């Protein structure tokens, strides 16, 4: 019997996964303080002890007190509950918290106030109290319940991997679990015995399981750790091979990311276990680069972590989750019920006339628009509801494009130093930025818009009027004096991004694709080694980003090797859509798992639950042609 461990400490897990980040604010003294102000007479009323920020200081005196107590379901005091208190007329803002006895108190001017309690993971009854202050308001009490998930840990009782290249070989005694998507696929399998999880409950309560984690130890790293799929239990590690392995079907319930060597890897799983029993999972990736995890025999065996809790019916609370919030019509969304309080019935209203009574339904929106979604849950005693929204958008029909070569485009004599706007519905082209008019004649290798400002990268050193020399590692910002008249006339240049001080120095680290969102998103012309600890290595099929807020490089958003066929290609244009979709262009001909095109094609990478699904964008009007290839793009949303 292999060892199994259950019920490790919740606190240890929270420290490991989340960490603690206290925020401290301090206000310093001036270097030359003024003479001390004479002390004022003591006020007739006790000063307000917990004035919050922001908010204007009220002018009326602090004559009235609001107080109360917070207790849990066992009538014990709840400490460290914070209260946000707002004056509903002036929006003056105050805060306070409960003490060791669960009591709170604060002094307020006369007025109407909303009192909102908060403690991470706790639910309150009532959720909010409205009070009219003047006179005093005592006994404004709350009852609270800890709705945080507890965790149980289970190590694998069996594991192994299969190899399509050796279909009858058994690797159940191997020290590794290998996953790879290539000419010969390799998939890993793990099995867990979940026991002593379900707890006895009292009237008015129920036992619930939630999401969880699959933790493995990485022996050989890779860009795609793989998706996690629930599979059947009809296998054992001594006989498992490619031919008899459980079928891997449906969508993954969790996803490993890009994994680093000799480290723990974590995949968040959706509802991995519903109670006591045996559960099996497969790990399969989409990369030709393999990842090796330690098996049970390797000494660092896989772990399954299951969330669980006891819920109280009196604290019924509705909560909506989903796998995606915005996308192109037709747009399919997987909705998830995240309610608390022993829900037994569900009613979803998707905002387009369709409804469902399933707890976790999937729904497809066929038309663009904003859809308000509501969920009503009931536990046989009471009902509550929650709302959210889904955006479904029209396909992009306008594109900013810089051609790779000089050509006559839509009757316009265009150069590789220009940016043009194409409107598909009217099949018309407009000159937006004329490089000759601005004395910037080097080829444009990347383009983006930030509001009405144009962001440009040049493929060779370009002298910028009034600024200096922009290198292929830089992005310059052009702010036009009149942004609404094309072609853009006079304006000023400034620096947007300078790559050399941030570590882009080699010939392969020149920028050939760029987009600006909350970070500087880019791709380079070749391999890049980013000066991080450990060093981040990126290839020309990847998209990565510079985060200016803390001066750091991030591997977000795309490891190109996770998309079939892209590992052999070079991304040379990118546009980021607020729906989290990406539009890319690729140098030369390509085939992405049956999605084929060339340097004139635009590929949509639709964000789908942690990955991307490629498709060709029909960006040209029927019968229209493009006489060049694309060197840089931006989309108009």
pLDDT tier at 12 (50, 70, 90 boundaries)?
Answer: very low
pLDDT at 47: 31
**Dist CA 341 CA 309 (whole Å):** 11
Query: Structure tokens of 564?
Result: 């079939």
Answer yes or no: is pLDDT of 28 > 70: no
**Dist CA 462 CA 272 (whole Å):** 56
Answer yes or no: is pLDDT of 255 > 60: yes
Query: Structure tokens of 91?
Result: 């929006």
Q: Please classify residue 196 by burial: count the beta carbons closer than 10 Å to its beta carbon, then call 0-12 exposed, 13-18 middle and 19+ buried.
A: exposed
In words, the CATH class of domain 316-393 is mainly beta
- What percentage of the chain has pLDDT greater than the value 90? 79
CB 187 within 8 A of CB 284: yes
pLDDT at 174: 97
pLDDT at 552: 95
Answer yes or no: is pLDDT of 493 > 80: yes
User: How many CA atoms lie within 13 Å of 328's alpha carbon, on the beta-carbon side?
Assistant: 17
Domain span(s) for CATH 2.60.120 in the chain = 150-310
Residues 6+ away with beta carbon under 8 Å from 9: none
Q: How many C-beta atoms surround the C-beta of residue 42 within 10 A?
A: 8
Domain span(s) for CATH 2.110.10 in the chain = 398-636
Q: Mean pLDDT of all residues in the chain? A: 89
Answer yes or no: is pLDDT of 3 > 70: no
pLDDT at 62: 57
pLDDT at 609: 67
Answer yes or no: is pLDDT of 297 > 70: yes
Domain span(s) for CATH 2.60.40.10 in the chain = 316-393
Q: Which of 97, 108, 95 is nearest to 66 (CA)?
A: 108
pLDDT at 35: 31
**Dist CA 424 CA 436 (whole Å):** 26
Query: Structure tokens of 457?
Result: 């990268």
**Residue whose pair of structure tokens reads 């149980």 in the numeric block:** 152
**Residue whose pair of structure tokens reads 């699904």 in the numeric block:** 613
pLDDT at 534: 83
pLDDT at 397: 96
Q: Which of 68, 121, 147 is nearest to 314 (CA)?
A: 147
**Dist CA 501 CA 549 (whole Å):** 16
**Which one of 3.20.20.80, 1.20.1050.10, 1.20.1280.50, 2.60.40.1120 gives the CATH number of domain 64-146?**
2.60.40.1120
CATH architecture of the domain covering 150-310: Sandwich (2.60)
**Which one of 1.10.3470, 2.110.10, 3.60.21, 3.30.870 gives the CATH number of domain 398-636?**
2.110.10
Answer yes or no: is pLDDT of 34 > 60: no
pLDDT digits (tens, 9 = 90+) for 84-138: 999 999 999 999 999 999 999 999 999 999 999 999 999 999 999 999 998 899 9
pLDDT at 51: 37
Q: What is the mean pLDDT of residues 61-82?
A: 91
pLDDT digits (tens, 9 = 90+) for 361-416: 999 999 999 999 999 999 999 999 999 999 999 999 999 999 999 999 999 999 99
pLDDT at 147: 97
CA 89-90-96 angle, to 5 degrees, is 105
Q: Please classify residue 585 by burial: count the beta carbons closer than 10 Å to its beta carbon, then call 0-12 exposed, 13-18 middle and 19+ buried.
A: buried
Answer yes or no: is pLDDT of 519 > 50: yes
Answer yes or no: is pLDDT of 6 > 80: no
């Amino acid at each position: 019997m292999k060892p199994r461990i259950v019920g490790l400490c919740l606190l240890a897990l929270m420290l490991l996964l989340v960490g603690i980040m206290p925020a401290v604010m301090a206000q310093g003294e001036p270097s030359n303080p003024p003479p001390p102000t004479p002390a004022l007479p003591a006020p007739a009323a006790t000063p307000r002890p917990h004035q919050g920020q922001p908010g204007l200081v009220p002018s009326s005196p602090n004559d009235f007190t609001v107080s109360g107590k917070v207790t849990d379901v066992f009538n014990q005091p709840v400490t460290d509950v914070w209260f946000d208190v707002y004056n509903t007329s002036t929006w003056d803002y105050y805060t306070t918290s409960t003490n060791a006895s669960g009591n709170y108190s604060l002094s307020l001017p006369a007025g109407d106030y909303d009192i909102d309690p908060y403690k991470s993971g706790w639910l309150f009854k009532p959720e909010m109290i409205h009070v009219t202050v003047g006179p005093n308001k005592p006994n404004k009490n709350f009852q609270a319940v800890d709705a945080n998930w507890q965790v149980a840990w289970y190590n694998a009782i069996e594991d192994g991997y299969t190899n399509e290249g050796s279909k009858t070989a058994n690797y159940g005694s191997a020290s590794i679990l290998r996953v790879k998507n290539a000419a010969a696929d390799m998939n890993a399998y793990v099995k867990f015995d979940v026991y002593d999880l379900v707890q006895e409950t009292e009237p008015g309560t129920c036992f619930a399981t939630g999401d969880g984690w699959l933790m493995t130890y990485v022996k050989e790293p890779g860009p795609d750790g793989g998706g996690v799929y629930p599979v059947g239990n009809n296998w054992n590690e001594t006989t498992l091979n490619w031919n008899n392995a459980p079928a891997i079907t449906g969508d993954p319930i969790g996803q490993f990311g890009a994994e680093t060597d000799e480290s723990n890897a974590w995949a968040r799983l959706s509802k991995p276990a519903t109670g006591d029993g045996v559960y099996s999972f497969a790990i399969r990736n989409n990369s030709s680069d393999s990842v090796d995890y330690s098996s049970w025999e390797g000494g660092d065996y896989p772990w399954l972590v299951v969330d669980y809790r006891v819920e109280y019916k009196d604290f019924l609370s509705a909560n909506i989750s989903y796998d995606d919030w915005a996308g192109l019509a037709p747009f399919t969304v997987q909705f998830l019920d995240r309610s608390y309080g022993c829900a037994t019935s569900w009613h979803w209203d998707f905002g387009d006339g369709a409804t469902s009574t399933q707890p976790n339904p999937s729904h497809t929106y066929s038309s663009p628009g904003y859809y308000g979604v509501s969920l009503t849950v009931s536990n046989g005693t009471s009902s509550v509801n929650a709302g959210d929204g889904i955006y479904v958008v029209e396909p992009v029909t306008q594109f900013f494009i810089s051609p790779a070569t000089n050509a006559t485009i839509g009757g316009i004599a265009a150069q590789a130093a220009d940016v043009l706007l194409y409107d598909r519905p009217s099949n018309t082209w407009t000159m937006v930025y004329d490089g000759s008019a601005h004395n910037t004649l080097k080829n444009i290798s990347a383009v983006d818009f930030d509001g009405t400002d144009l962001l440009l990268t040049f493929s060779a050193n370009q002298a910028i009027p009034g600024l200096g020399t922009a290198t292929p590692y830089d992005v310059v910002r052009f702010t036009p004096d009149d942004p609404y008249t094309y072609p853009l006339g006079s304006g000023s240049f400034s620096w947007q991004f300078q790559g050399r001080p941030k570590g882009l120095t080699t010939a392969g680290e020149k920028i050939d694709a760029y987009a600006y969102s909350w970070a500087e998103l880019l791709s380079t012309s070749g391999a890049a080694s980013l000066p991080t600890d450990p060093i981040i290595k990126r290839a020309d099929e990847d998209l990565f980003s510079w985060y200016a807020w803390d001066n750091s490089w991030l591997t977000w958003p795309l490891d190109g090797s996770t998309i079939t066929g892209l590992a052999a290609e070079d991304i040379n244009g990118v546009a980021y859509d607020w729906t989290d979709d990406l539009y890319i262009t690729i140098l030369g001909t390509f085939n992405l798992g049956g999605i084929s095109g060339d340097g004139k094609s635009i590929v949509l990478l639709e964000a789908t639950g942690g990955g991307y699904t490629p498709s060709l964008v029909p960006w040209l009007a029927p019968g229209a042609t493009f006489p060049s290839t694309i060197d840089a793009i931006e989309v108009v949303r």
